Chain A
């Protein structure tokens, strides 16, 4: 089983729609979780961290489900500018750890 898995999509949604992505992880000891956004031919940029209590930033909400070992990203009222690839990143709970990135989920918002 891969350390981190994401549905690659693509997700094609109209402006104003609500869309959700999930990311499953294999190690129950994982402690750090993040969502990144990557535009075409650009570097990934940190979108938000995911806390146990959830995290909300404007139209974006991130949640953690430890029991089922996944994190989610919800985007409300989608904008054209939200079109990008969304990557999740998870550590594996070790002091010698590193982040493992999912392959990304591609989102296209159409007018």
Chain B
């Protein structure tokens, strides 16, 4: 089955620890995205990547980092510099930056 996988589904971390969220797609999509969603809020773009080895900051990149070494993978690291990391993190991919995006199931991160 083609799709986007994110792991883990739930993640708990202590304050001050860096944590990396996984996102993999087998749709052969060029573009990949990371969003954050807080309760009752819309999607906020953290980072996106149009092609391998290239990525751009979104609206709320501070405290996050990404890499795009492979077309299929776009991991997100939430660093200790992110002041309020507890949120629902969604990864998405699309054929191109202006095409429809398809989302993974998300990772709920709780920082204690």
Whether the pair B42, A102 counts as a contact (CB closer than 8 A) is yes
The reply to whether the CB of B64 lies closer than 8 angstroms to some CB of chain A is no
- Residues of A in contact with B, size category: 20 to 34
Whether the pair B100, A96 counts as a contact (CB closer than 8 A) is no
Task: Report the separation of the CA atoms of residues A9 and B102 in the bound assembly, to the nearest whole angstrom.
Answer: 25
Complex partner residue of B98 from A32, A46, A87, CB under 8 angstroms: A32
Task: Report the separation of the CA atoms of residues A32 and B56 in the bound assembly, to the nearest whole angstrom.
Answer: 20
Count B interface residues, CB 8 Å: 23
Known: A91-B98, A98-B33. A43 touches B103 (CB 8 A): yes
The reply to whether the CB of A59 lies closer than 8 angstroms to some CB of chain B is no
The reply to whether the CB of B75 lies closer than 8 angstroms to some CB of chain A is no
Minimum CB distance partner of A102 in chain B: B42
Known: A43-B105, A43-B106. A49 touches B100 (CB 8 A): yes
The reply to whether the CB of A101 lies closer than 8 angstroms to some CB of chain B is yes
List A residues 53-101 near B (Cβ within 8 Å). 87, 89, 91, 96-99, 101
Complex partner residue of B42 from A43, A49, A98, A104, CB under 8 angstroms: A104
